[in-house]
């Protein structure tokens, strides 16, 4: 569990895209983002108050989150100076970088001397159990994709935000680095040892109120041969009551796999649903989330309408339209089950 | 890679079942089993020559394999004395125990002093890559089960043995501790980090001759919610050309999962085959392997005949009948593809 609120470290980001972790926190948990810390040549800007470490500490920030990718696979001396100063100032550090903070001897020494924590969110911090398959109370929704990186995290976060706005009980359950940094906890599922993957998913979505929904962040795709095992563990460990199908319609092949074409939404439905019903016979597909960033507004609306007609399910781009109709589908499901 | 041949350490096995790893080596790689080393109160016997360390060394043994389960989760002082003597005598040690040899300071120190290796086959020894999905040359057969522990390893080993007898090119590819100890190499797939599972399977079944078959050891089940992710990685990383369906007909629920019933063989076929075809569109189901140990001979034959009629595929118990008909199915597949 990472202590909030955060000071977002944007470093020497060469462009806005490099700071996408910070952007995610700013977008989805603005209440966690007290300010930003930028180096002189930083080209990213979250529109937050620029703060020194001392100012941020005074404002209540607990953790300096590295919200930017590093260059060249090293933590530079310039970064190091700031990270050490932050520890000395009383901040914990949190990072999703490939280079682990815990592998930097100076950071470890200073953190120990100052009694601060180093959070490397790429590394599991819990000894997860083996999944039991025992039915849990509360409801769960899982986003599954035709491919990796089609908007599963965005969809779950947008649904969670919409549910909170309506006063419904929901929790986004992070299963990847960015999601963990955004919310302060979760499991880096791709880094968990195989035997414990499904158990880790059970662990992060425990028993809950009967009217509470976990929005579980999806990973990979059942059709992506590199990562399908991780997806499978989510489908079984998550015991979803509801699936959202996620798709990016302009992609020419599976991400990183030339020669592998994307499945249709029908194929995704027909593959994912029977597998999900092994763990939860009541599971249904409730909606479709399409990432239309590479389509014009007109093209997007036409495409969404055609998908909606073909699949007989609400189809939205939550970035353009919000996730309200997907949440409607969950609410309707609740009503159907109760009726 | 564990150096062969082996001296099999049976320790103080309380019964034959405790020595099932040694039994597997004796059954499937008798040429690796030069002799056995038994303590005074040992109740297991592989029918091999009892040898001292010195005798086994003189006979050419390279590795002392712990072929027996330990009791109480500790490596006892009595065992330790023998293991240390073996290192001093010039043996490597190989173990599939939960307690790792490398966690025993005295073994580590003596191994280092003597220049010997400690092989803990539960721990991956390779940094596996992420799977690429690139089509590999050669053929691959994967056993998939309705449940865990239904005879997938036995089936693959029996098919491999039958193929070798016929002079066909085949290799058993171990994916679990016992299989690794039997053959001297492989991947402990359940201990691999999630992102690298499918890559590990690709790694152990690389490009090969066009007429060579890898018999890949299956793990878990697509229907076992605790381990299905591991199975999924085998189905995609293995790129199987042929699937064998494995089943145990008397089981009342999924292993370790009360309340979860076993799928039918039809359901297994209809789930596994489309998933396998994502990685290898040519994949087909060629046969069925049934573990009939809890049936009488008559019951077994009746059951196998009914499965064969229902599924339209050869159905055998390789323990009772050998795996010849399953190998026939692979050969027939080769002929069909070539024709």
CB B104 within 8 A of CB B112: no
Chain B residues in contact with A281 by the CB 8 A cut-off are: none
CB B152 within 8 A of CB B246: yes
Alpha-carbon distance A280 to nearest alpha carbon in chain B (angstroms)? 10
Are the Cβ atoms of B231 and A236 closer than 8 angstroms?
A: no
Are the Cβ atoms of B274 and A271 closer than 8 angstroms?
A: yes
**Closest residue to B223, CB basis, from A254, A257, A278:** A278
B261 touches chain A (CB under 8 A): no
| Cβ atoms < 10 Å from Cβ of B113 | 10
A223 touches chain B (CB under 8 A): yes
pLDDT digits (tens, 9 = 90+) for A175-201: 999 999 999 999 999 999 999 999 999
Are the Cβ atoms of A231 and B232 closer than 8 angstroms?
A: yes
B236 touches chain A (CB under 8 A): yes
Confidence (pLDDT) at B339: 64
Confidence (pLDDT) at A339: 64
pLDDT digits (tens, 9 = 90+) for A48-82: 999 999 999 999 999 999 999 987 778 999 999 99
- For chain A, list residues with pLDDT below 70: 339
Are the Cβ atoms of B133 and A231 closer than 8 angstroms?
A: no
Are the Cβ atoms of B229 and A198 closer than 8 angstroms?
A: yes
| β-bridge mates for residue A120, sequence order | A95
> What DSSP string describes B256-292?
TBTT-PPPPHHHHHHHHHHHHHHH-TT-EEEEEEE--
A6-120 and A139-338, same CATH topology = yes
CB A222 within 8 A of CB A271: yes
The percentage of residues in chain B with a pLDDT greater than 90, rounded to a whole number, is 95
Nearest CA to A9 out of A89, A110, A74, A93 is that of A93
Are the Cβ atoms of B194 and A223 closer than 8 angstroms?
A: no
Chain B residues in contact with A231 by the CB 8 A cut-off are: 229, 232
Nearest CA to A217 out of A153, A159, A161 is that of A153
Residue whose token pair is 């059954």: B27
Nearest residue in chain A measured CA to CA from B135: A259
B229 touches chain A (CB under 8 A): yes
**Closest residue to A190, CB basis, from B195, B226, B236:** B195
Nearest residue in chain B measured CA to CA from A229: B229
**Which CATH code of 1.20.140.10, 3.40.50.300, 3.30.1390.20, 3.60.20.10 fits the domain covering B139-338?**
3.40.50.300
Are the Cβ atoms of A195 and B227 closer than 8 angstroms?
A: yes
- How far is the C-alpha of B152 from the C-alpha of B157, rounded, in Å? 9
* Cβ burial, residue A87 (10 Å; 0-12/13-18/19+): buried
A124 touches chain B (CB under 8 A): no
Neighbouring residues of A119: CB distance < 8 A, sequence distance ≥ 6: A2, A63, A92, A93, A94, A95, A101, A125
The CATH topology of domain B6-120 is: Rossmann fold (3.40.50)
Counting one residue from chain A and one from chain B, the pairs whose CB atoms sit within 8 A come to 126
Confidence (pLDDT) at B70: 86
What's the DSSP call for residue A301?
H
Confidence (pLDDT) at A335: 87
A132 touches chain B (CB under 8 A): yes
A58 touches chain B (CB under 8 A): no
Chain B residues in contact with A260 by the CB 8 A cut-off are: 133, 278
- For chain B, list residues with pLDDT below 70: 338-339
Alpha-carbon distance B232 to nearest alpha carbon in chain A (angstroms)? 5
> What DSSP string describes B97-154?
-SS-GGG-HHHHHHHHHHT--EEETTS--S-PPPP-----SSEEEEEEESSSSSSHHH
Are the Cβ atoms of B198 and A275 closer than 8 angstroms?
A: no
Are the Cβ atoms of A198 and B226 closer than 8 angstroms?
A: yes
Are the Cβ atoms of A226 and B193 closer than 8 angstroms?
A: no
Nearest residue in chain B measured CA to CA from A268: B275
Are the Cβ atoms of A199 and B223 closer than 8 angstroms?
A: no
Are the Cβ atoms of B229 and A227 closer than 8 angstroms?
A: no
Neighbouring residues of B72: CB distance < 8 A, sequence distance ≥ 6: none
Confidence (pLDDT) at B144: 98
Q: At A233, list the tokens.
A: 């563990």
Spatial strand order in the sheet of A118-120: A33-38, A6-11, A63-66, A92-95, A118-120
What's the DSSP call for residue B1?
-
**Closest residue to A133, CB basis, from B226, B232, B275:** B226
Alpha-carbon distance B201 to nearest alpha carbon in chain A (angstroms)? 10
Q: Is the pTM of this model over 0.80?
A: yes
Chain B residues in contact with A198 by the CB 8 A cut-off are: 225-229
Q: Phi and psi of A284, rounded to 5°? A: -135, 155
A184 touches chain B (CB under 8 A): no
Alpha-carbon distance B177 to nearest alpha carbon in chain A (angstroms)? 13
> What DSSP string describes A137-182?
SSEEEEEEESSSSSSHHHHHHHHHHHHHHTT-EEEEE--SHHHHHH
- How far is the C-alpha of A7 from the C-alpha of A4, rounded, in Å? 9
Alpha-carbon distance B1 to nearest alpha carbon in chain A (angstroms)? 22
Q: Phi and psi of B168, rounded to 5°? A: -85, 155
Are the Cβ atoms of A194 and B189 closer than 8 angstroms?
A: yes
Are the Cβ atoms of A133 and B259 closer than 8 angstroms?
A: yes
Domain boundaries, chain A: 6-120, 139-338
Q: At B152, list the tokens.
A: 């997938």
Nearest CA to B28 out of B3, B6, B55, B52 is that of B6
B273-295 in b/e form (b: 16+ CB < 10 A) is bebbebbbeebbbbbbbbbbeeb
Alpha-carbon distance B311 to nearest alpha carbon in chain A (angstroms)? 21
CB A174 within 8 A of CB A183: yes
What are the residue ranges of helices labelled H in chain B? 20-28, 53-58, 77-89, 105-114, 152-165, 177-183, 197-204, 228-237, 265-279, 297-311, 318-321, 324-338
Chain A residues in contact with B275 by the CB 8 A cut-off are: 222, 228, 271
* Terminal C-alpha separation, chain B: 38
């Amino acid at each position: 569990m990472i202590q909030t609120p955060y000071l977002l470290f944007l470093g020497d980001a060469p462009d806005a895209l490099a700071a996408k972790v910070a952007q995610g926190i700013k977008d989805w948990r603005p209440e966690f983002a007290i300010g930003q810390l930028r180096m002189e040549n930083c080209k990213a800007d979250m529109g937050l108050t620029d703060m020194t470490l001392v100012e941020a500490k005074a404002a209540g920030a607990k953790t300096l989150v590295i919200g930017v990718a590093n260059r060249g696979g090293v933590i530079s001396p310039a970064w190091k100076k700031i990270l050490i100063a932050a520890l000395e100032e009383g901040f914990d550090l949190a990072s999703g970088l490939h280079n682990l903070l815990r592998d930097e001897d100076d950071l470890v020494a200073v953190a120990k001397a100052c009694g601060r924590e180093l959070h490397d969110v790429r590394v599991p911090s819990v000894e997860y159990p083996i999944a039991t398959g025992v039915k849990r109370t509360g409801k769960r929704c899982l986003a599954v994709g035709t491919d990796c990186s089609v908007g599963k995290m965005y969809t779950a976060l947008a649904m969670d935000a919409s549910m909170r706005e309506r006063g419904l009980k929901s929790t986004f359950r992070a299963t990847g680095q960015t999601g963990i940094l955004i919310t302060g906890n979760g499991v880096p599922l791709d880094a968990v040892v195989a035997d414990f993957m499904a158990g880790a998913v059970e662990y992060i979505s425990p028993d809950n109120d009967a009217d509470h929904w976990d929005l579980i962040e999806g990973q990979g795709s059942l059709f992506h041969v590199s990562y399908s095992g991780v997806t499978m563990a989510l489908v079984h460990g998550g015991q979803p009551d509801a699936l959202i199908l996620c798709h990016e319609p302009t992609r020419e092949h599976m991400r990183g796999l030339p020669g592998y074409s994307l499945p249709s939404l029908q194929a995704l439905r027909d593959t994912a649903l029977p597998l999900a019903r092994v763990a939860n016979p009541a599971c249904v597909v409730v909606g479709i989330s399409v990432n239309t960033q590479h389509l014009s507004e007109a093209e997007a609306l036409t495409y969404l309408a055609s998908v909606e007609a073909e699949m007989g399910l609400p189809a939205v781009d939550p970035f353009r339209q919000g996730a309200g109709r997907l949440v409607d589908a969950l609410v309707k499901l609740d009503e159907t089950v109760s009726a």
